[in-house]
Structure 1
Amino acid sequence: MTAYVIKRLFLMIPTLFGVMLITFIVTQFVPGGPVEQLINELKQRHQTGEVATGLQGLYRGATGLDEERLKEIKAFYGFDQPAYKRFMTMMGKYLTLDFGDSYFHHQSVLDLVLSKLPVSISLGLWTFFLTYLTCIPLGVAKAVREGSPFDVVTSTLILIGYAIPGFMLGLTLLVLLGGGSFWDIFPLRGLVSDNWSELGWFDRILDYLWHMVLPITSMMIGSFATMTLLTKNSFLEEIRKQYVLAARAKGLTENTVLYKHIFRNAIIPLVTGFPGAFIGAFFTGSLLIETIFSLDGLGLLSYESILKRDYPVVLGTLYIFTLLGLIAKLLTDISYVLIDPRIQFDSVDQ
């Protein structure tokens, strides 16, 4: 297993390099880069007369920018060097976690990502834990009661929830419960109230949880179906195996058979996905949910960065997410061996 882990770690390097290279190449051909956006902004300001106030002499009407100014702008954004040099310089800095500064937010990419994490962690971790804590017991109950009215009703409800888009549910909840046309029960926006710093510690917790109810409900309603049915099918597959019949023939109780024999085998597909889902929960970003509930998280940051061609943010966050994704996949493979000793990667390599 040690050899397998070392091999996977070495394979991460070309994978990460390839992802960054492809994305970097794509950004070179996408129109509307930061230089073009600045020129368009200067042109619009010139037309409205704003250039004279703060950018005197930079834009010259129909003649545009002179060559010297244009070279200065390109040098400021780093476009005065060949693409391959910029890419190699960027990758060299990324090894030291230096992702540069945002073109438009005027702060380092790492600080910018960290400032958005509270929202994304709140959405991701609550969705992650509540989904696992709800869907696994529900899936077990459905497997034990397969074909019963309970199984049919719950399957219908979770499939209906799966069919409802999260943003549509969020809008509906805001209208019904957020002070729209019906009841004013939950807050409309934000992670906490404006007077949160003035509250006591217990009231702060309650205020935070109260703000999380509607966004979390909107995000997790669609994930119930996948996790619940995966749990149910995994348990049904184990229930029908011979060792279960043998355990029942020995006179063991149903609870003993279920939780001592079936559970530890059926839970393997769910537990092995735990590392990746847990790491991903820290960086979960939902553009529509964040927009609807006025939550400034990673989803909104990524969307705005792509629109503004904020390449340091786009490439820096891509590097972070790709690296964490590769680590999560490795942890998932390792968890297979730790949970199920029958799996041996050494034999697979031979």
Structure 2
Amino acid sequence: MWLYILKRLLLMIPTLFGILLLTFVIIQFVPGGPVEQMVAQLQGRDVGGEGAAAAGAGFQGRQGLDEARIEEIRRLYGFDLPAHERFIQMVGQFLRFDLGQSFFHHQSVWQLIVERLPVSISLGLWTFLISYAISIPLGIAKAVRAGSRFDTATSVLVLVGFAIPGFVLGVALLVIFGGQLQWFPLRGLVSSDWHQLSLGAQIVDYLWHITLPVTASVLGAFAITTMLTKNSLLEEIRKQYVLTARAKGLSERRVLYKHVFRNALIPIVTAFPAAFVGAFFASALLIETLFSLEGLGLLGFESVIRRDFPVVMGTLYFFALIALVTRLISDLCYVWVDPRVRFD
């Protein structure tokens, strides 16, 4: 196993290199980069991606700025170097886990990630816990009552929830419960006076703010885990060892939870690491943007719009590294859960 882990860790290096190289090449052809945006800002024009791109390639909108000032701006952002030198320099920094400095936030990318990470963790952790706490018992109940009205009705409900995009549900929740009824706040993770509240009031205030975002995120997460649990249980129930256990006189509850449940949860347990981390980052962009939550998803989106390339590359490197490590942990879980699996 240790040889397998070493091979997988070594394979992460070319994988990360390929991801960074492909993204870096694409970035070179994106119009409206940081230099163009700074030129547009100095000229009092729109500094967004579209407005800066309107200046044209080669800084056609530089009227009023001399060549020395343009060159100074290029050196400020490191664009005075050829593209291949900038890429090599960036890779060298990433190997030292130095993600560089943001062009527009004027702080390190690591600091930005650390500041935004608690919001993403908060949203993802609640989504993961609630979805699994409901989906697994529901999947078991559906498998035991397969073909019944309960099974049909719950299947319709979870599939309808899966079909509704999270951001569409989020808009509806904001309009109804945040706008019309005014039961919940429209934005933010906590109130502005949160630090002045008592501990109990802080917890209540936090739960009050997180209710709508978590509801919008968690609704579509039920279907996959619920149906996977149900189908895994049904597959195990039909196997010969279950018939043998029943023939020995074991109770249905003992057969279900001691024999069937243990084997049926193998694909679910092995998917825990990926699902746990994926809940933090997957589909968080629209929810964070909609509810004005300062998380990693919103940070990445704003960085793309503002052409903040160090943040774009840094967050991509961070996400890719987490995804690769999570995939390795998921594969190792197969051996831990099912001793019959061998990597050789």
Length-normalised TM-score, structure 1: 0.91
Which residue in the other structure is 2:159 paired with? 159
Which residue in the other structure is 2:322 paired with? 324
The size of the alignment, in residue pairs, is 331
Q: Structure 2: how far apart are the matches of 1:92 and 1:283?
A: 26
1:213 aligned to which of 202, 205, 211: 211
- For residue 168 of structure 1, report the CA deviation from its aligned partner: 1.6
Which residue in the other structure is 1:100 paired with? 100
Aligned 1:286-305 pairs, distance under 5 A: 286-305=284-303
Which stretch of the first structure deviates more once superposed, 35-44 or 14-23?
35-44
SS at match of 2:43: helix
User: Residue type of the partner of 2:273?
Assistant: P
Q: Does 1:9 align with 2:9?
A: yes
Which residue in the other structure is 1:120 paired with? 120
- For residue 187 of structure 1, report the CA deviation from its aligned partner: 2.0
2:249 aligned to which of 245, 248, 251: 251
Q: Structure 1: how far apart are the matches of 2:87 and 2:173?
A: 46
Q: Structure 1: how far apart are the matches of 2:132 and 2:23?
A: 34
Which residue in the other structure is 1:38 paired with? 38
Which residue in the other structure is 2:54 paired with? none
Percent identity for Structure 1 against Structure 2: 61
Contact 2:39 2:62 in 1 (8 A): no
Assess, with a 3 A threshold, how the Cα gap between structure 1 residues 4 and 267 changes in structure 2: closer, same or farther: same
Aligned 1:6-155 pairs, distance under 5 A: 6-44=6-44, 63-155=63-155
- For residue 315 of structure 1, report the CA deviation from its aligned partner: 0.2
Q: Does 1:337 align with 2:335?
A: yes
- For residue 323 of structure 1, report the CA deviation from its aligned partner: 0.7
Which residue in the other structure is 2:277 paired with? 279
Q: Structure 2: how far apart are the matches of 1:166 and 1:126?
A: 15
Assess, with a 3 A threshold, how the Cα gap between structure 1 residues 153 and 238 changes in structure 2: closer, same or farther: same
Aligned 1:185-224 pairs, distance under 5 A: 185-224=183-222
Please, which runs of 5 or more residues in structure 2 have no aligned partner? 47-58
- For residue 45 of structure 1, report the CA deviation from its aligned partner: 5.1
Q: Structure 2: how far apart are the matches of 1:44 and 1:196?
A: 37
User: Residue type of the partner of 1:308?
Assistant: R
- For residue 195 of structure 1, report the CA deviation from its aligned partner: 2.2
SS at match of 1:223: helix
Length-normalised TM-score, structure 2: 0.92
User: Residue type of the partner of 2:75?
Assistant: A
Q: Structure 1: how far apart are the matches of 2:45 and 2:290?
A: 31
For each residue in 1:288-313, what CA deviation from the matched residue of structure 2 results, as whole angstroms up to 9, or x when unmatched?
22222221211111111111111000
2:238 aligned to which of 237, 240, 247: 240
- For residue 239 of structure 1, report the CA deviation from its aligned partner: 0.8
Q: Structure 1: how far apart are the matches of 2:282 and 2:62?
A: 46
Assess, with a 3 A threshold, how the Cα gap between structure 1 residues 168 and 283 changes in structure 2: closer, same or farther: closer
Please, which runs of 5 or more residues in structure 1 have no aligned partner? 47-58
CA RMSD of aligned residues (A): 1.7
